[in-house]
Amino acid sequence: MFPFQIRPDQALSEIQAFGTKLSRGLRTLNEIGDIDVGCTEKESVYTEDKLTLYRFKPLVEKLNPVPVLIVYALVNRPYIADLQKNRSLVRGLLAGGLDVYLIDWGYPDSADRFLSLNDYINGYIDRCVDVLRKRYSLDKINLLGICQGGTFSLCYSAMHADKVRNLITTVTPVDFHTPQDMLSHWVRKVNIDLLAETMGNIPGEMLNWTFLSLKPFRLSGQKYLDMVNTLDDPVLCKNFIRMEKWIFDSPDQAGEAFREFIKHFYQNNELVKGEVMIGEKNVDLENITMPVLNIFATDDHLVPPAASKALRKYVGSADYSEIEFPGGHIGIYVSGKAQQMIPPSVTSWLAAR
């Protein structure tokens, strides 16, 4: 049979409907006002260079006595963890009685060109941890790492096990050579030393393109067309633009840290080999003996589940748990399903430890 049964009158009405939705969409865009991100009240408790350590205002009176420090990635901005009231990992954790802190790395510029992984992990993160230990008169605090921040948290916990009580990693790459790791496959043969030497800092725009290139048809085309159908709803429209704002809000990467991360983690897969050196310290995942909760997403196209699940094999902890989230890399923080699943799981897991 002839498969194309697109009648001209139907096609015309389809096109007309599309045009009408676009018109209404423009009206909606005019009505929605400014796009705000980061919904929860917070205060700065420590600053250093471009880093700011924030404390979120607690939502309940009785708090878990051990604070949680969220270590965000260097890529994109941390407000994805607190995007809007009904899509906020932070609010969920606060509601569960946790005392939540977050590291905002800021926007590195050319003066930060030689910030190394040692400066980030044994420097900035360690000092933030010390701030909290002192503030609460505790030897150990809880760490929660997001994506690359999770990898940093693993390195930190392996080198400073005496300062970490519990470790939570979310969509965190551990084994960088799993078969479905597209990013790893792409950068394997790139001369990263030359790239970093030539570019200095790595432009955020380059990372944007890289992430869009993972699914170019859907991410740079189809999703906008899908959005036309909901453009007349101001709430949905605002949510969508808020997400767009986050996607394209990409700080440049400090060249040296980027070079080290790509070379030692993505190209040489040294983390699982126990060969990563951060400064003068070796990172041995066996040293991670505190309780570990590893959360990964089944449809993650940036960090394949296998890349995260590998952690089980390498940590020295006798108390290791996993949560498999049915969604994608970003959905784990902002989807409705995630709000129901992730914060309650984290708070109850911590409460038991």
Site for other proteins in 262-321 (CB under 8 A): none
Q: How many CB atoms lie within 10 A of CB 302?
A: 19
The number of residues making up the chain comes to: 353
Give the angle 155-298-318 at the CA atoms, nearest 5°: 45
CB contact set of 233 (below 8 Å; sequence gap of 6+): 28
Q: Of 78-86, 142-150, 194-202, 308-316, which part binds other proteins (CB under 8 A)?
A: 194-202
Pick the closer one to other proteins by CB: 60 or 224.
Answer: 224
Write out the two tokens for 71.
């270590």
Of positions 82, 99, 119, 260, contacts other proteins by CB under 8 A: 119
Where are the strands (E) in 72-131, listed by range? 82-84, 87-88, 100-104
Write out the two tokens for 144.
């929660």
CB contact set of 269 (below 8 Å; sequence gap of 6+): 175, 176, 177
Angstrom distance (rounded) from CA 316 to CA 300: 26
Of positions 44, 110, 298, 340, contacts other proteins by CB under 8 A: 110
Site for other proteins in 45-84 (CB under 8 A): 49
Least distance from other proteins to the Cβ atom of residue 322, Å: 26
x-or-dash string of contact with other proteins, 215-234, rule CB under 8 A: xxxx-xxx-xx-xx--x---
Least distance from other proteins to the Cβ atom of residue 38, Å: 16
The yes or no reply on residue 29 touching other proteins (CB under 8 A) is yes
The yes or no reply on residue 236 touching other proteins (CB under 8 A) is no
Q: Of 81-89, 127-135, 306-314, 322-330, which part binds other proteins (CB under 8 A)?
A: 127-135
Of positions 58, 97, 106, 200, contacts other proteins by CB under 8 A: 200
Indicate the angle between helix axes 234-247 and 8-31, nearest 10 degrees: 80
> Of 128, 147, 155, 237, which one is the catalytic site residue?
147
Pick the closer one to other proteins by CB: 218 or 313.
Answer: 218
Pick the closer one to other proteins by CB: 281 or 312.
Answer: 281
Q: Is 155 a catalytic residue?
A: no
x-or-dash string of contact with other proteins, 312-341, rule CB under 8 A: ------------------------------
**Reduced 3-state DSSP string for 263-279:** HHHHHCCHHHHCCCEEC
Angstrom distance (rounded) from CA 305 to CA 320: 16
Least distance from other proteins to the Cβ atom of residue 53, Å: 15
Site for other proteins in 152-191 (CB under 8 A): 182, 185-186, 188-191
Angstrom distance (rounded) from CA 327 to CA 138: 36
What sign does the CA torsion over 56, 59, 61, 66 have? Answer: negative
Least distance from other proteins to the Cβ atom of residue 176, Å: 14
- Closest C-alpha to 69, from 80, 50, 54, 47: 54
Of positions 244, 249, 284, 319, contacts other proteins by CB under 8 A: 244
Task: Let me know: does 37 contact 68? Beta carbons within 8 Å.
Answer: no
Pick the closer one to other proteins by CB: 60 or 190.
Answer: 190
Least distance from other proteins to the Cβ atom of residue 157, Å: 20
Pick the closer one to other proteins by CB: 59 or 202.
Answer: 202
Angstrom distance (rounded) from CA 106 to CA 250: 10
Of positions 60, 111, 235, 277, contacts other proteins by CB under 8 A: 111
Task: Let me know: does 56 contact 90? Beta carbons within 8 Å.
Answer: yes
Catalytic residues: 147
